[in-house]
Chain A
Amino acid sequence: MIDWKIYYKFDFFAFILALCLAGFGLVIIAGATGDVEGDTLFVDQFQRVILGIFCLLAVTLVEYRTLVRFAPLIYILGLLSLLFCFVPYVGLWRKGAYSWVNIAGVFQIQPGEFAKLCTILMLTRILSTKKDQWQNLWGILRPLLIGCLPSLIILKQPDLGTAIVFGPITLLMMLVAGMPLAYFLILFSPLLGLFAISSDPLVFLCWLGCTMILLLVIYLKRIHWSIWVPFVSLGLLLYATIYLHGESIWEKLPPHQKGRIVGYLNPDFEPMSTNFNINQSKIALGSGGFWGKGVGKGTQTQLEFLPEYRHDFVFSALGEQVGFLGSGIVLGIFLLLIIRGLDTATETKTLQGALIATGIVSLYFTHIFINVGMATGLLPVTGLPLTFISYGGTFMLSNMIGVGLLINIRMRTSSELLKDSFSSGRPAMAIPSTIADDF
């Protein structure tokens, strides 16, 4: 059944990158916690890394297209597991959200992490079957709905950070699958406008000009009205709602989210309360300097000034202990992993392979960008763990499975096509694209 020969092409590069990152995470977390607790955490996380490696290997066994074929089932299972969070005695209330499921009282898992992978598979399936999907509204709406559904459930838990991740994944996969860039801009124009009007009249004018050009592009490219009219009107509606009822929406936001937004807009405001977390994170990073304070010698983490230093602010703990050198190296490894993932997507000849790889890469990329951006004060505070580094079993497993999928795709790159083309008797051809790819 399994063709063991393809394991000669096992992608050790991606595998080693993942192991390096996991190792880094182990050291950093153990170093940040210190003393006895640090040792138990280390052992804990080490077990999960081992388990993760087994999962990674297991994922390589199944051909990825089989996974795509069963994607609807996997997706529904994922959604059900999300819903389990709300079931009493099964769902766990932790850190203000029902984002945990208790399995037989032994394991606690976060179905949200697996839901991301399930959604990637489902999107791959949706985006790779229809060929003319960009020509009608349903073709655009379908992947959006697929992406939105788990996101909305998670938002209800409520876990804003995890819910946000689905957006970039869906959009990036749609873009790679060939969605015209103009659509993307149409989708984003109202959101950009929101930012524009809240900052400066000049910026707002710029945005207005850009929107005009966009409308001109829509006109010149002869994009069918049935596609852009709903989105533009939806955007305008959203925009008008926020413009008219912005204050009442603002009032309904939970106070901690308000504080995060206020703190993001005024970095020097209330350093001891509103901006405490981000301030301490910057202090941790900045005090690390180039060489860092040494593993286990970070004062910000040891003395608990840095909040959530094992999960959301793990990058600051890393920067404090191993300095710019270490955090630069970690960022470098992340970039290498992303490049490797995108290379896999380029190498593979199948659309499914490319889309899965894109999904995984965009998942990693979103986590890294939001987490590091938050730790350095570029983005508002959102609770998202850092890929491979943060402490957490489910997260580690899902990351490892992601790498497993990348390896899976890369292993089967050439053999698939050869076998198929031989069996069909003629070389495979690219699907001719019938509509404008770009504008």
Chain B
Amino acid sequence: MVSKQKPGLILKSPTVDRRLQGFLFFCCGIFAVLVFRLWTIQIYHHEEFLEKAEHNITRILPIKAKRGRILDRNGKILAHDIDYYDLYMPIRVQKGQVKPSAQESLMLLSQLIDVPYKTLEARYLEMRTNPHRKFEGTIQVCVAKDISFEKVVAILERQTEFPQEAMVFPVAVPVRHYPYNDAASHILGYVAEVSARELKLERYQGYRQGDKVGKDGIEYVYEPYLRGRDGKIGVFVDKFEIQRGRPFEMELPVQGNDIVLNLDIDLQMATENILGASRGVIVVSDPRDNTILAMASSPRFNPNTFSQEYHQLLADPHKPLYHRAIKTAYIPGSIIKVFEAFAILDGLNISENAREYCNGGYAPPGIRRVWHCWKRTGHGPMNMVDAIKHSCDVYFYKMGMRLTIDGMNDYARQFGLNRKTGIDLKGEMYAPFPTRSRSWTGGDTMNASIGQGKVSLTPIQVNTALSAIANGGTLYAPRVAHQIVSATGDVVAVMDPVVSGQIEASTRAWNAVRKGMWEVVNSWGTAWRLKQDSKLLKEKKIEVMGKTGSAEVIKNYPTNALFVCYAPSENPEIAVTIILEFAGHGGEFAVPPAQAVLETYFRDKDSNPIVLNATSEPATQRKTEL
């Protein structure tokens, strides 16, 4: 055959050609399918895939704005933001298990930041399933929070040791810091992440999950001013969520406004030291417009370590989280007599010289019980001035029975004792001043007339009324904040004093009450120690007006010690209210602290005059960490 002539030459049959033709058609058919498929992907669904491709590589990351600072009246920083860092890592989890690369990263991280590996791993897995905690628009999750700059530097130095697909990224996050730690902690408040419930409120519109908001005090009240505007940065990332190239979009964050307070932090710390460990309140204000100079409430908390100690603080029986100055209504005791005096003199139209005899007790008509004076032996004949000076109970029992609770109520309203003062702090409380009700008895009136029984007032109420007495009759709402200053140093708003009432009293009444309060301190009254013990006040010839109080809260137990005073007697500059829980008699225990406060104030005033220094150095614009 053919193969014999030339080996290797074999001719093909027509079948081969036919098959080749079939193969060609088959190929053309397959190519048509491929081209059609390409058309559907590349032309028909182009937009959809283009969007997905952009979503793959673009990330809009928020840059947290710094919150405004809180300054005291001398420009000292009470609260500011410092940069801490949150550490982010891409999600590398499969079937609920952390992938080896991520494990390696977490292991190294746990060495560098001193956090146990188990904690990090648990947090990593938890964050993955919690969609709210995802880093904005990315699949990175936060593995550790509030890492200091030094540790971040340590991490960055060893960044090459982390596996590439589970790299750790520090993101600068401002963290609130309070340089004076627990000083004025109740006034300043604290910040925390906004809760899901709060987000639904109108107040928190425009906030996002994870934003920090003021939860108490100044931080809460002036939140809209303090809050900065977050910036954002748009970057390209690769598959491993690592940034590539320059950012394509950038919006710098705007720092929040600074709040300048009326508070004087030195005086505040002094008052807190004076209070020491004992429970109680000292409120110091400028009576001319009732601006708060200091407001110490003990015990306190430290807002810097607040979040770690939160449960401990909640469980503490002394309630350190409670701002006693504005939230606790104390039985005022004899303090009330100052305000009641106006009611007696004007409301009953009784002469200031009219004398009532104190024999150590009084049994009102129709009641078979004797109410004793604090001095069982009796004070003898007392007029109004003497009654205030000696804090004679019997005088006020008798007058109180004539005045009735309705008369007291009228005057309590004038002094703002039956309502909130309107201080610019969160959560002010008050106890309603007792009114005549069906169950009201003569005995209740007797108690109320010396500020016992059903009467209770918050320290800020007392201090506001005291300021009104000191400044000649104008009731101002207490103000902690003085003004709001933008980061560039412009004054945004000034908190003007708000008049909340006017005390209408005759000159006769004014003179009598003032004389009474003067004698309490200066004429061997119940607060005689104040003047006699103080060299400074004597030297400077500063005359102090005051009134002591001892409120019996629990029978046969030390009373609450109270003292209110203002100084100097002419053109008063400072009004002080002191309440010490279960300390004993006011004249004995509340007066020495008051003396200390006054001495501190008047000593510092000369050496270091307190000036409202609004234009402190402007906050520098925050450097953006990229």
Residues in A whose Cβ lies below 8 Å from that of B626: none
What interface size band does chain B fall in? Answer: 35 or more
Residues in B whose Cβ lies below 8 Å from that of A289: 42-43, 46, 50
Of A300, A334, A377, A424, which is within 8 A of B6 by CB?
A424
Inter-chain CA distance A176–B26, complex, in Å, is 13
Asked if A305 lies at the interface with its beta carbon under 8 angstroms from chain B, I say yes
Give chain B interface residues in 198-254, CB to chain A under 8 Å.
236-240, 244
Contacting pair A429 B11 (CB below 8 A): yes
Q: In the complex, how many angstroms separate the beta carbon of A38 from the nearest chain B beta carbon? A: 15
Residues in A whose Cβ lies below 8 Å from that of B46: 286-290
Contacting pair B53 A283 (CB below 8 A): yes
Contacting pair A373 B41 (CB below 8 A): no
Closest B residue to A175 by CB, please name it: B19
Asked if A92 lies at the interface with its beta carbon under 8 angstroms from chain B, I say no
Of B31, B33, B56, B236, which is within 8 A of A335 by CB?
B31
Give chain B interface residues in 2-38, CB to chain A under 8 Å.
2, 5-21, 23-24, 27-28, 30-31, 33-35, 37-38
What interface size band does chain A fall in? Answer: 35 or more
Q: In the complex, how many angstroms separate the beta carbon of A314 from the nearest chain B beta carbon? A: 15
Asked if B606 lies at the interface with its beta carbon under 8 angstroms from chain A, I say no
Contacting pair B34 A305 (CB below 8 A): no
Q: In the complex, how many angstroms separate the beta carbon of A429 from the nearest chain B beta carbon? A: 7
Q: In the complex, how many angstroms separate the beta carbon of B351 from the nearest chain A beta carbon? A: 90
Contacting pair B57 A305 (CB below 8 A): yes
Closest A residue to B49 by CB, please name it: A286
Of A305, A331, A432, which is within 8 A of B31 by CB?
A331
Of B16, B20, B239, which is within 8 A of A303 by CB?
B239
Asked if A420 lies at the interface with its beta carbon under 8 angstroms from chain B, I say yes
Inter-chain CA distance A27–B57, complex, in Å, is 23
Inter-chain CA distance A176–B56, complex, in Å, is 47
Closest B residue to A68 by CB, please name it: B8
Asked if B607 lies at the interface with its beta carbon under 8 angstroms from chain A, I say no
Inter-chain CA distance A338–B12, complex, in Å, is 20
Asked if B48 lies at the interface with its beta carbon under 8 angstroms from chain A, I say yes
Asked if B111 lies at the interface with its beta carbon under 8 angstroms from chain A, I say no
Among A12-20, A246-254, A342-350, the stretch that binds chain B is A342-350
Q: In the complex, how many angstroms separate the beta carbon of A343 from the nearest chain B beta carbon? A: 9
Closest B residue to A292 by CB, please name it: B42
Contacting pair B6 A176 (CB below 8 A): no
Contacting pair A351 B38 (CB below 8 A): no
Inter-chain CA distance A348–B12, complex, in Å, is 9
Of B11, B24, B37, which is within 8 A of A351 by CB?
B11
Among A81-89, A199-207, A322-330, A392-400, the stretch that binds chain B is A322-330
Most buried by A among B7, B23, B48, B236: B23
Contacting pair B52 A338 (CB below 8 A): no
Instruction: Evaluate whether A288 and B24 lie within 8 angstroms (CB atoms) in the complex, with A65-B8, A305-B56, A429-B2 already known.
Output: no
Contacting pair B13 A178 (CB below 8 A): yes
Give chain A interface residues in 180-236, CB to chain B under 8 Å.
none
Inter-chain CA distance A358–B18, complex, in Å, is 13
Give chain A interface residues in 261-282, CB to chain B under 8 Å.
272-273, 280, 282
Contacting pair B237 A303 (CB below 8 A): yes
Closest B residue to A306 by CB, please name it: B239
Residues in A whose Cβ lies below 8 Å from that of B35: 328, 331
Asked if B318 lies at the interface with its beta carbon under 8 angstroms from chain A, I say no
Instruction: Evaluate whether A342 and B56 lie within 8 angstroms (CB atoms) in the complex, with A285-B41, A286-B49, A420-B6 already known.
Output: no
Of A286, A290, A362, which is within 8 A of B45 by CB?
A286
Instruction: Evaluate whether A303 and B57 lie within 8 angstroms (CB atoms) in the complex, with A128-B10, A178-B15, A429-B11 already known.
Output: yes
Contacting pair B27 A335 (CB below 8 A): yes
Closest A residue to B24 by CB, please name it: A342
Contacting pair B16 A324 (CB below 8 A): no
Most buried by A among B12, B37, B38: B12
Asked if A304 lies at the interface with its beta carbon under 8 angstroms from chain B, I say yes
Inter-chain CA distance A373–B37, complex, in Å, is 9
Inter-chain CA distance A178–B28, complex, in Å, is 21
Contacting pair A365 B41 (CB below 8 A): no
Asked if B94 lies at the interface with its beta carbon under 8 angstroms from chain A, I say yes
Q: In the complex, how many angstroms separate the beta carbon of A109 from the nearest chain B beta carbon? A: 29
Of A305, A324, A335, A348, which is within 8 A of B42 by CB?
A324
Residues in B whose Cβ lies below 8 Å from that of A338: 24, 27
Contacting pair B8 A69 (CB below 8 A): yes
Inter-chain CA distance A351–B237, complex, in Å, is 57
Contacting pair B236 A287 (CB below 8 A): no
Q: In the complex, how many angstroms separate the beta carbon of B485 from the nearest chain A beta carbon? A: 45
Asked if A378 lies at the interface with its beta carbon under 8 angstroms from chain B, I say yes
Asked if B357 lies at the interface with its beta carbon under 8 angstroms from chain A, I say no
Of B2, B7, B13, B16, which is within 8 A of A69 by CB?
B7
Of A327, A328, A350, A378, which is within 8 A of B10 by CB?
A350
Asked if B39 lies at the interface with its beta carbon under 8 angstroms from chain A, I say yes
Q: In the complex, how many angstroms separate the beta carbon of A263 from the nearest chain B beta carbon? A: 15
Contacting pair B236 A303 (CB below 8 A): yes
Closest A residue to B34 by CB, please name it: A372
Contacting pair B30 A178 (CB below 8 A): no
Contacting pair B37 A376 (CB below 8 A): yes
Give chain A interface residues in 420-439, CB to chain B under 8 Å.
420, 423-424, 428-433, 437-438
Which B residues are closer than 8 A to A by beta carbons?
Answer: 2, 5-21, 23-24, 27-28, 30-31, 33-35, 37-39, 41-43, 45-46, 48-50, 52-54, 56-57, 94, 139, 236-240, 244
The 10 nearest A-B residue pairs measured at CB = A286-B49, A287-B53, A303-B238, A65-B8, A324-B42, A351-B12, A437-B15, A424-B5, A287-B50, A304-B239
Identify 9 new A-B residue pairs, CB closer than 8 A, beyond the known A272-B139, A428-B2: A289-B42, A304-B238, A319-B38, A339-B24, A372-B34, A378-B33, A428-B11, A431-B13, A433-B15
7 A–B contacts, CB within 8 A, in A order:
A177-B16, A177-B19, A284-B53, A350-B10, A358-B23, A433-B13, A433-B15
